Amino acid sequence: MDKIAFIGAGAMTEAIVRGVIKAELLPASHIWVTNHANEERLQHMQAAYGVTVTRNQIDLLQETDIIILSVKPKDAEQALHSLGKAQLKKQQIVVSLMAGITSAYLESFLPVGQPVIRVMPNTSATILESATAIAAGTFTDKHQLQLVQQLFGTVGSAVEVGEESMDAVTAISGSGPAYIYYLMEALEEASLKVGLDEEVGKQLLIQTFKGAAAMLEQSDLSPAQLRANITSAGGTTAAGISVLEEQHVKAAVTACVQAAAARSKEMGQAYSK
């Protein structure tokens, strides 16, 4: 891998750039970035990381191994039309970070045989702790998939899934941090109501979530088993869990994930050809 190019210069691009440079996967000068119109953003990327910025598409794409589309789904068609006219080489890999946009849609704008890979990171990429899923398109080979997996491994963990799983991935790990923050928001508000100082409550919550995640990572036990281990009959945890069950919280979480997955699928259908 000698050169990567980002089309789009938002927070996710910045996170990936930071991870690639920190991991020494590529020197900053081999990372190229462009966007549609925000010159201030490009200048920030150049000043902060030493990457190459340009609005010249020929320079951007010349000898580029991986082209990363880091734009919003509403901007997909414009970006893909531009790429489709760029006379890409067969070995250049087009990577999409756009939620809901299928490989088939991406491939429909590109020369037949162009390797395409869909990637769904999450916002924890900004601290190099993303849970990222990668799905190969029709013409992608194993080596190309491994290159992209290595690239996104610089911002957390990266796993391969089938294309058919990407809506579920979007609903679980793509949107997942927001669900966790929502729960933390609720616990933070509850901690104030039971008399905890705001700063103390926040520190306890952060460490509690970190500890629970570490326990799950380091243990062979399931979440249900770990929960059962700290839920003594008649105790405080059991009192709290009983309220969660009375309020059908598990059903609400399931409905939440199903709604997100359905929306991801709807977005893909909206951009189908």
Give the 3-state secondary structure of residue 75.
helix
DSSP assigned state of 92: P
d(CA 192, CA 250): 24
Q: Report domain extents, the chain.
A: 4-166, 176-267
- Residues 111-165 pLDDT 10s: 999 999 999 999 999 999 999 999 999 999 999 999 999 999 999 999 999 999 9
The mean pLDDT value of the chain amounts to 94
Task: Show the tokens assigned to 92.
Answer: 């250049």
- The confidence score (pLDDT) of residue 84 equals 84
Q: What kind of architecture, by CATH, is found in domain 176-267?
A: Orthogonal Bundle (1.10)
- Inter-residue long-range contacts of 263-269, CB under 8 Å, 24+ positions, other chains counted: 263/100, 264/99, 264/100, 264/166, 264/167, 264/170, 264/171, 264/174, 265/100, 265/167, 266/100, 267/73, 267/99, 267/100, 267/101, 268/100, 268/101, 268/102, 268/105, 268/167
- The confidence score (pLDDT) of residue 217 equals 94
CB of 179 closer than 8 Å to CB of 259: no
Q: What are the φ and ψ backbone dihedral angles of 252, each rounded to 5 degrees? A: -65, -40
CB of 51 closer than 8 Å to CB of 32: yes
Q: What are the φ and ψ backbone dihedral angles of 6, each rounded to 5 degrees? A: -105, 130
- The confidence score (pLDDT) of residue 134 equals 97
- Residue 271 scores a pLDDT above 80: no
Query: 21-56 b/e with 16+ CB inside 10 Å = b?
Result: beeebbeeebbbbbbeeeeebbeebbeeeebbbeee
Task: Show the tokens assigned to 262.
Answer: 């359905």
Query: pTM here?
Result: 0.89
d(CA 195, CA 115): 57
- Residue 81 scores a pLDDT above 60: yes
**What letter represents residue 54's amino acid?**
T
Average pLDDT over residues 94-123: 94
d(CA 182, CA 4): 35
pLDDT band (50, 70, 90) for residue 273: low
- Residues 58-79 pLDDT 10s: 899 999 999 999 999 888 888 8
- Please give the CATH superfamily to which domain 4-166 belongs: NAD(P)-binding Rossmann-like Domain (3.40.50.720)
